[in-house]
Structure 1
Amino acid sequence: MSEEVPQNKKRKLDQSLRVKIVAGLARACPASQVNKKEWCESIYDTLLKECPDRLPEKARSIAFNVKRNGEYLCSCRPEDVARMSPDQMARGTTLASLRESIVLGGWDPPSSERPSLLESSKWVSTANKQKLELVIYEESSFRDFSTYWRSSVPRVVVRHGDITSLEGEFHALVSPANTMGNMDGGIDRVYADFLGWSYGRPYHDPNPLQLGIDRFKGEENARLELGEAVLIKDLKVHLIASPTMILPGKIEVNSRVVFQATKAVFQLWKANEKIRVLRMPSFGTGYGQVPGIISASQTMEAFCHVWNSL
């Protein structure tokens, strides 16, 4: 017959484990951490409540990560730390950044601090009726945009599907064009077919985008520079174009092309408030091979930069 552990002895064992784990966590904390004991006790209590069977294992993992990433973890609520995965606890460390960079094909991961709109920004503080629809066709990029933007900006929605056929009214489309305004490939071909336009030079008659670029630059066969944008007005729906590349090809790793191009789009849109609903695809994620999360972060940075400006 097995002997049951008396309740008073069990309580002593539990208290001994608590003291041991709390002390171990406290030793791992950086010297700058205030209220170490209370912080560590809150971690223990959360672990005891949510994963009692794995308590010692989780506590060891937390102590290990607090030793190498204490400044970050000790700035977090203890309840949140107790629920973090090892990768989340390693956030910001050299190893974690290296791992994420490898996953992103060499691109530096976005900053942990996302851009935000000021309360005084024109987008927030006025009776602005403009709405941005980020329409992402490719599944993984859609998930990246949904995760990064996640309803953090009013009147901005992330949608999945074909940008020209989704339900709902819209007044302008955005093209991450090439500098020549040629529209015989990628999303520009979709736009040309939707608008009934020619694919444009050099193999077809000039399209309205190319003619608009010519007017904007004051010469024939002109090219739009990176960081510039033009608005082409059409009876069906307007088009804002801002190039991300000269010819279709991979965008240089860690470049700011997406930020520069989307900033030009938002500046032009801001100056044309009559365009109420703007549909915009992800920039650089096709031919440019920019990771979805990078495109999402640079697009949000550009959006906040433009709308926070006077």
Structure 2
Amino acid sequence: MQCVLCDINPAMRRAWEQVLPRWPRLMNVCKVVSGDITELEVEAVVSPANSHGYMRGGVDAVYTRVFGPGVEERLQALIAALPGKELPVGQALAVPTGHSRIPWLISAPTMREPSSECHDQPVCDATMAAMKVALEKGFSVIAFPGMGTGVGRLPVDDAARAMIRGIDESLPWEEE
């Protein structure tokens, strides 16, 4: 699987670029790119959202604008069918986008409520959950924004370390 780490924030990209060399086995898995994540051609983009599926702030607002309000409606319908009627941090769901270049969105909440501050462990857990869904679906290329760094206000260095750790811990590595 290929993980594209894409953000418009140069500080987020630098943080990933500084952390990645410390995880040599991810150097062929992760690629850092600049720009608008919705301009990529990937099987899925990851939404850091919240447990209720509200997609109105940060990168989620961009996803809603590009994919249309139906993506939030489909996500919320799936969440409404879950026990407790929310998607806990550490779990993820894939939702079709209807978009030709990015057919799926993986919602992996980094926070329970919108506008809550994030910490590194929920970002790691959300990244792992997104990776698990991508692996289950058989996706070959997915894209992550800086998880928890917008509305969640997690410092980019903490986010980069948590995300890279989450990607590493979710992959089925051969015994070394």
Q: TM-score, normalised by structure 2?
A: 0.85
Distance between the aligned counterparts of 1:172 and 1:282, measured in 2? 15
Pair 1:230-2:96 in alignment: no
| AA in 2 matched with 1:225 | P
**SS of 1:258 mapped into structure 2:** helix
Distance between the aligned counterparts of 2:70 and 2:104, measured in 1? 16
Alignment of 1:145-294 (within 5 A): 145-150=16-21, 152=24, 153=26, 154-166=28-40, 169-198=41-70, 207-215=73-81, 217=82, 222-236=85-99, 237-245=103-111, 246-252=113-119, 255-273=120-138, 275-294=139-158
1:233 CA displacement: 2.2
Distance between the aligned counterparts of 1:251 and 1:183, measured in 2? 16
Choose 1 or 2 for highest CA Rg: 1
Alignment of 1:102-181 (within 5 A): 130-150=1-21, 152=24, 153=26, 154-166=28-40, 169-181=41-53
**Which residue does the alignment assign to 1:302?**
166
| AA in 2 matched with 1:247 | P
Distance between the aligned counterparts of 1:162 and 1:174, measured in 2? 13
Identity within the alignment, %:
28
Greater strand share, structure number: 2
| AA in 2 matched with 1:190 | V
| AA in 2 matched with 1:140 | A
Runs of 4+ in 1 over 4 A off after TM superposition: none
Unaligned runs of 5+ in 1: 1-129, 201-206
1:192 CA displacement: 0.9
C-alpha RMSD of the superposition:
2.1
Q: Give per-residue Cα distances to partners, 1:251-298, cap 9 Å, x unaligned.
A: 25xx5111111111111111111x221011111111222121211111
Distance between the aligned counterparts of 1:288 and 1:143, measured in 2? 19
Distance between the aligned counterparts of 1:303 and 1:155, measured in 2? 9
**SS of 2:117 mapped into structure 1:** coil
Distance between the aligned counterparts of 2:136 and 2:70, measured in 1? 28
**SS of 1:227 mapped into structure 2:** coil
1:300 CA displacement: 1.3
| AA in 2 matched with 1:295 | A
**Which residue does the alignment assign to 1:87?**
none
Unaligned runs of 5+ in 2: none
Q: Give per-residue Cα distances to partners, 1:229-249, cap 9 Å, x unaligned.
A: 111123321010111112213
Give the number of aligned pairs: 167
